[in-house]
Amino acid sequence: MEIADGIEEILLDAQQIAHRVAALGTQISADYQGLPLLIVVVLKGAMVFAADLMRQISVPLQVDFVEASSYGEETETSGMVRVGRDVETDVSQFHVLLVEDIVDTGLTIRTIAEHLRARGALSVRICSLLDKPSRRRVEVSLDYLGFEIPDRFVVGYGLDYAQRFRQLPYVGIVRLE
Ligand code: IMP
């Protein structure tokens, strides 16, 4: 795989990701057997991961989306999380599985999980492709995790830097100018 301009190093290649996503799908399928499952994709970053993950889940499911962002385009989260687009589904009828690209400080996913619990979801669990535990500021329990990664800014497979690089089929470390 040719490395894209602006990428310093490939951290996780497409094959490693696919392998792990398949294992997560198997685990989730077993855990949600017989339960009404709603996958809530955290836009925009988790869309690629979620699209692959849901095709590895064998139990019936529905899909909805939320968008939440910390302010600004910096690589550091500002601590202010805004929930933009909300789910349209009546979450009180579902066990919600939140699908996120990366958990860094934890502020984003905690805000969304609390929001869906407040709306009456039967349960809320979190599935994140990546985890940067060294930067955690609030406690979150990651029920399903793809990979733990070091404290580097990564892009690709849905993740961006100033809206770029989402289409890369791998997760790479971005060269920050
Ligand atoms: P948190 O609220 O600090 O946990 O940040 C989570 C959000 O920050 C993610 O959903 C991403 O949008 C963004 N983010 C954190 N680290 C990275 C990274 O290394 N690359 C791309 N986006 C990141």
Q: Cα separation of 106 and 83, whole Å?
A: 14
Q: Catalytic site residue 104?
A: yes
pLDDT band at residue 82 using 50, 70 and 90 as cut-offs: confident
**Ligand 1 centre from 34 Cα, in Å?**
33
**Ligand 1 centre from 97 Cα, in Å?**
18
Give me the residues paired with residue 173 across strands.
9, 154
pLDDT by residue (tens digit) across 1-49? Answer: 688 899 999 999 999 999 999 999 999 999 999 999 999 999 999 999 9
Q: Model pTM?
A: 0.94
| Ligand 1 pocket list (CB less than 6 A) | 45, 70, 77, 100-109, 153-155, 159
- Helical H segments across the chain, by residue range: 14-31, 47-54, 107-118
Percent of the chain with pLDDT over 70: 94
Paired tokens of 77: 């989260």
Annotated catalytic residue, options 52, 101, 104, 131: 104
Q: Which residue in the block uniquely carries the two structure tokens 């290649």?
A: 13
Q: Which residue in the block uniquely carries the two structure tokens 């497409």?
A: 14
Q: Which atom of ligand 1 is nearest to the CA of 103?
A: 4
Q: Which residue in the block uniquely carries the two structure tokens 């955690």?
A: 136
User: Region 151-173: what's the mean pLDDT?
Assistant: 97
Q: Which atom of ligand 1 is nearest to the CA of 104?
A: 4
Long-range CB contacts for residues 45-50, cutoff 8 Å, separation at least 24 = 45/100, 45/101, 45/102, 45/158, 45/159, 45/160, 45/166, 46/99, 46/100, 46/101, 46/129, 46/158, 47/158, 48/157, 48/158, 48/166, 49/21, 49/99, 49/101, 49/129, 49/146, 49/157, 49/158, 50/99
